[in-house]
Amino acid sequence: MIELQGICKSFPGVKSLDQVNFSARAGEIHALLGENGAGKSTLIKVLAGAYTPDSGMITFASVPRVWASPRQAQQAGIHVIYQELVLFPDLSVAENIFIGHAPRTRWGLIDRKAMIRKTESALAQLGHRLDPRARVGDLSVADQQMVEIAKALNHDVKLLVLDEPTAVISGKEVVALFERLRRLRDRGVCIIYISHRLEEIFALADRITILKDGKNVRAGSVKEFDRASLVTAMVGRPLADLYPPRPPALPAAPVVLAVCDLQALPRVKRVDLEVRAGEILGLAGMVGSGRTEVAHAIFGSQPRQKGSVTLAGQDVPPASPAESIRRGIGFMTEDRKGEGLLAQLPVYANMTAPDLARYTRLGFLQRPREVALATRDIQRFRIAVPGPTSGVWHLSGGNQQKILLSRWMAIRPKLLILDEPTRGVDVGAKAEIYRLIRALAAEGVAVLMISSELPEIIGLCDRVLVMKEGRVMGALAAETLSEEAIMTLATADAPARGEAA
């Protein structure tokens, strides 16, 4: 379906693609893998007509091509669904799918009945039901993705590219997405799938191509790889080096966070937990189990109806994030773009945001002090950014996460809550973030970590609580951690004996 030979693409000071070869067949799901900066995005933009290669050849449907624009590539049957969906939230599902080419009546007016009928047909091909008249801004992210895919089908798509499609969905939504992608594959559509979640690759892909530093590393059938060989090819070091060593068990440290009989309806019904100084406590469970809501209730960004939260023996008042920060609680949200980063502000302002009083004198912010802190933390956290006055929006997911980590470390926290700390982050950056988290714990910070990636929970946490339907179902010590043990508790009918119900 698509073949790229000897593709080179350079930008000022950077050679993004260096003699890259790539091919994907009709009726297959082809995974394109690599760390951030490996050249994946540049290759996709060359393939889709957004970039013109400096050299090399593109062959699509057996015909040599030189795309003049992304529109020309789209008209040929190539459609890219980026991680940031390109939809109009105030328009309906049907209007989004047919924007720019709506069916017309013989009088030249938009034929809304035909548009709704064709929208229903496109969604039916995906096995998905949506009201064509529904406002897109009111839909879930999973439903919005289906609208994007239906839009592609409406263009007679031959090649569909998905960039990190599961970064903002999980659980049943991921299962549904995979079923629909397999259905498209079986219809002969060529699908290129980009993801940092390696378990998805083995569940979905037929073949794999790996890039590193703008060059081909390895390609082949998914059956030729295992998790260890994938990681080694992508980052150049073994899987065993991904997680920092867990320190030996020490005598019980002081309790930093104590949560008793916490209730934050509708998701959190009853939760007890403790986190000690220097401990990384994992919070696992299926989507909808209440993990994130527990974090918000502790931090005060969600009201709690019942229960107590104490930090170092002192009560933390409900619904008061500012007071939580003042007392020494940091919270890195799972939604770094929607709730974490200050997109229009530079790096230094993102780092100092929680504690501006520290950088204020006589009512005025002292920018040199903010910049000095940012300069120090850029080096400390190994953040790849031109400088403290640079913007944050264009940075890789890993570097954005490091900025948020440095933000909360600046308040010298007693407790750091991390919700999906490596979401949308490549394998190499994950290893760096894991190192930072373990280093923070070694300094005595209590860490409460939520993650949907079980290998991450197992590799990093000292102890794990497993939740289901707003309750803690059981606890697992480091030596008993396994995916099977976690899933057994996550799907149990009743809490394990001795645990909170």
Whether the CB-CB separation of 387 and 341 falls below 8 Å is answered with no
pLDDT of residue 500: 44
Domains of the chain: 2-241 (3.40.50.300), 255-338+413-490 (3.40.50.300)
pLDDT of residue 265: 85
pLDDT of residue 501: 38
CA-closest candidate to residue 27, choices 222, 207, 230: 207
CA-closest candidate to residue 35, choices 400, 426, 434: 426
Is the bond preceding 266 in cis, omega lying within 30 degrees of 0?
A: yes
Alpha carbon 181 to chain centroid, angstroms:
19
DSSP assignment of 459-474 equals HH-SEEEEEETTEEEE
Residues in CB range of 384: below 8 A, 6 or more apart: 395, 396, 399
pLDDT of residue 179: 85
Instruction: Determine the Cα–Cα distance for residues 169 and 145; give it in Å rounded to an integer.
Output: 10
Burial of 26 (0-12, 13-18, 19+ CB in 10 A): middle
pTM: 0.67
pLDDT of residue 423: 77
Instruction: Determine the Cα–Cα distance for residues 59 and 478; give it in Å rounded to an integer.
Output: 52
- The string of pLDDT tens digits covering residues 439-478 is 889 999 999 999 888 888 998 999 999 998 889 999 999 8
Ranges in the chain, pLDDT < 70: 13, 36, 83-84, 126, 142, 167-173, 237-241, 249-250, 287, 496-501
pLDDT of residue 410: 83
Give start and end residues of each alpha helix (H) in 132-263: 141-154, 172-186, 198-204, 227-235
pLDDT of residue 302: 87
Whether the CB-CB separation of 155 and 171 falls below 8 Å is answered with no
Retrieve residue 336's tokens.
């770094």
Whether the CB-CB separation of 33 and 17 falls below 8 Å is answered with no
Instruction: Determine the Cα–Cα distance for residues 431 and 453; give it in Å rounded to an integer.
Output: 14
